[in-house]
């Protein structure tokens, strides 16, 4: 039995039941072989047709919306981030990824009297940002430039390819340097900016929000991408009295967004390593999978009872090169979105979240404990998907789902209890290498256990 990569991916314990026959890895996707002879349960691995696909991810959020839920009920908002900087990951095929962060702030209900009555020259202003993500070389400081947005930006649910107009000259102090390893980063704004915007800064509530459009933050000359927490980002005003008493006022973040671009610097590195397909966060590069139900081995199953089914999309974490001084976190989750066939059961029939208004796409719940090693659709979703697909094909209909799209979501994968709600993945720039074929931990596949009749 040559499928040495199979046990390593059976997350959560023994998924196969009383096996008396196993598929040889050389037969994966080619035929059922002798495993279906006799009356004992047998397991076969069915590989799909796989192709690359690119869909720009959602990287914008407004903190008081998040799919209609208030902030106190939205863990996703608490974890949300925006990215700033540029990274040239050593993984071939990733190119150079550059990110610009955007942030806008909410108005306060009131201001301390010491600030409300202060002259502009007696105030200082700074951005206060909490770091929550790092990808790149950690040995260098980063120069960050802050620019005024020129008009109101609709950041909520904006995709990474969007951008918003900003003024040409930075409003941050010249040469503003940050250490990305610091847990709290501050970026000082120019005194001239305070003087020009003092009338807006002293407004409250929606009056402030209507007049203040937010900032674009750029660090395109850096060698790393740093992520800042959206929920804790703040614009702070400060004044010091004649008695050295300090008074501060923080404007909390209201909405954030990340613009992502990818460029290739070296044609020799344009393709991923041999034997792998590349998924890449931020630029939205993922995989599209389709199972051929009318071809061998699925067409030979006929009416054999399906005892177990799981869908695996492995990540070969050992294949990523990590040079000295380079930091790259592992993705914390994935997303698999399945496109429904016409007339197929609804998403809820598979405990899945509805992605599209027309119920045409379903977000399949994944095992949250399987990441980063694998995107895993467990038996309670995969088995009814394959069982009903086999039945529909026997009835000369299309399978339940025509295509399964896989992307990096970088958050805990949607599980069964969360499947009623679609939540976008956190902005990321991470690469994942998925084996094409026999390389451990194996290719994308469905593992089916059947009892031949």
Residue pLDDT, tens place only, 53-93: 999 999 999 976 433 333 433 444 568 999 999 999 999 99
Nearest Cα neighbor of 11 from 310, 406, 386, 437 is 310
Confidence of residue 14 (pLDDT cuts 50, 70, 90): very low
Contact 57, 34 (CB under 8 A): no
As a whole number, mean pLDDT of residues 353-358 equals: 78
As a whole number, mean pLDDT of residues 242-254 equals: 93
The larger pLDDT score, comparing residue 42 to residue 406, is at 406
Nearest Cα neighbor of 105 from 64, 58, 165, 162 is 64
Which of 15-24, 154-163, 418-427 has the largest mean confidence?
154-163
Confidence of residue 300 (pLDDT cuts 50, 70, 90): confident
What pLDDT was estimated at residue 356?
76
pLDDT over 50 (residue 23):
no
pTM score of the predicted model: 0.87
CA dihedral 258→263→268→272, nearest 10 degrees, is: 30
Cβ neighbors of 68 (< 8 A, separation 6 or more) are: none
CA dihedral 367→369→375→379, nearest 10 degrees, is: -30
What pLDDT was estimated at residue 77?
55
As a whole number, mean pLDDT of residues 385-398 equals: 94
What pLDDT was estimated at residue 413?
58
Nearest Cα neighbor of 57 from 164, 163, 158 is 158
Report, in angstroms and rounded to the nearest whole number, the Rg of the chain calculated over CA atoms. Answer: 26
Helix (H, G, I), strand (E, B) or coil at 394: helix
What pLDDT was estimated at residue 358?
76
Confidence of residue 453 (pLDDT cuts 50, 70, 90): low
Helix (H, G, I), strand (E, B) or coil at 396: coil
What pLDDT was estimated at residue 210?
96
User: Of all residues in the chain, what percent carry a pLDDT higher than 70?
Assistant: 84
Q: What integer best gives the mean pLDDT of the chain?
A: 86
Which of 71-75, 297-301, 427-431 has the largest mean confidence?
427-431
Nearest Cα neighbor of 59 from 283, 285, 295, 329 is 283
Could you read off the pLDDT of 193-245 as tens digits, one per residue? 999 999 999 999 999 999 999 999 999 999 999 999 999 999 999 999 888 89
- The alpha carbon dihedral of 367, 370, 371, 377 has a sign of negative
pLDDT over 90 (residue 248):
yes
DSSP 240-255: E-TT--EEEEEEEEEE
As a whole number, mean pLDDT of residues 290-299 equals: 94
What pLDDT was estimated at residue 78?
65
Could you read off the pLDDT of 107-139 as tens digits, one per residue? 999 999 999 999 999 999 999 999 999 999 987
As a whole number, mean pLDDT of residues 328-346 equals: 94
What pLDDT was estimated at residue 420?
44
Domain ranges of the chain: 7-54+284-450, 61-263
């Amino acid at each position: 039995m040559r499928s040495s990569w199979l046990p390593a991916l059976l997350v959560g314990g023994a998924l196969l039941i009383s096996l008396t026959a196993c598929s040889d890895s050389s037969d994966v996707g080619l035929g059922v072989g002798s495993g279906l002879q006799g009356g004992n349960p047998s397991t076969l691995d069915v590989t799909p047709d796989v192709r690359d696909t690119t869909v720009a991810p959602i990287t914008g959020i407004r903190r008081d919306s998040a799919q209609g839920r208030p902030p106190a009920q939205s863990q996703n908002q608490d974890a949300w981030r925006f990215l700033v900087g540029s990274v040239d990951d050593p993984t071939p095929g990733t190119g150079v990824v550059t990110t610009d962060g955007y942030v806008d702030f909410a108005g306060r209900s009131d201001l301390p009297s010491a600030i409300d009555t202060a002259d502009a020259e007696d105030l200082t202003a700074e951005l206060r940002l909490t770091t929550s993500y790092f990808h790149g070389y950690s040995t260098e400081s980063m120069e960050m430039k802050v620019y005024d947005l020129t008009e109101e930006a609709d950041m909520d649910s904006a995709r990474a390819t969007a951008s918003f107009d900003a003024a040409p000259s930075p409003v941050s102090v010249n040469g503003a340097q940050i250490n990305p390893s610091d847990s709290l980063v501050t970026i000082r704004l120019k005194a001239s900016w305070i003087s020009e915007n003092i009338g807006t800064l002293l407004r409250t509530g929606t009056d402030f929000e209507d007049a203040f459009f937010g900032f674009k933050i750029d660090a395109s000359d850096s060698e790393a991408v740093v992520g800042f927490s959206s929920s804790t980002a703040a614009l702070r005003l400060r004044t010091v009295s004649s008695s050295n008493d300090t008074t501060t006022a923080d404007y909390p973040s209201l909405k954030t967004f990340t613009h992502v671009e990818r460029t290739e610097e070296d044609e020799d590195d344009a393709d991923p390593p041999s034997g792998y397909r590349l998924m890449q966060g931020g630029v939205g590069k993922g995989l599209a999978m389709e199972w051929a139900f009318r071809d061998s081995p699925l067409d030979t199953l006929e009416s054999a009872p399906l005892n177990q089914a799981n869908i695996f999309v492995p990540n070969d974490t050992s294949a990523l090169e990590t040079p000295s001084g380079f930091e790259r976190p592992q993705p914390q989750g994935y997303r698999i979105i399945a496109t429904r066939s016409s007339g197929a059961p609804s998403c809820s029939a598979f405990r899945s979240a509805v992605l599209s208004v027309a119920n045409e796409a379903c977000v399949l719940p994944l095992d949250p404990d399987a990441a980063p090693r694998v995107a895993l659709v467990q038996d309670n979703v995969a088995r009814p998907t394959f069982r009903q697909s086999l039945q529909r094909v026997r009835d000369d209909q299309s399978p339940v789902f025509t295509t399964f799209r896989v992307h990096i979501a970088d958050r805990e994968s949607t599980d069964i209890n969360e499947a009623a709600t679609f939540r976008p993945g956190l902005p990321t720039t991470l690469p994942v290498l998925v084996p094409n074929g026999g390389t451990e931990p194996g290719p994308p596949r469905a593992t089916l256990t059947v009892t031949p009749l």
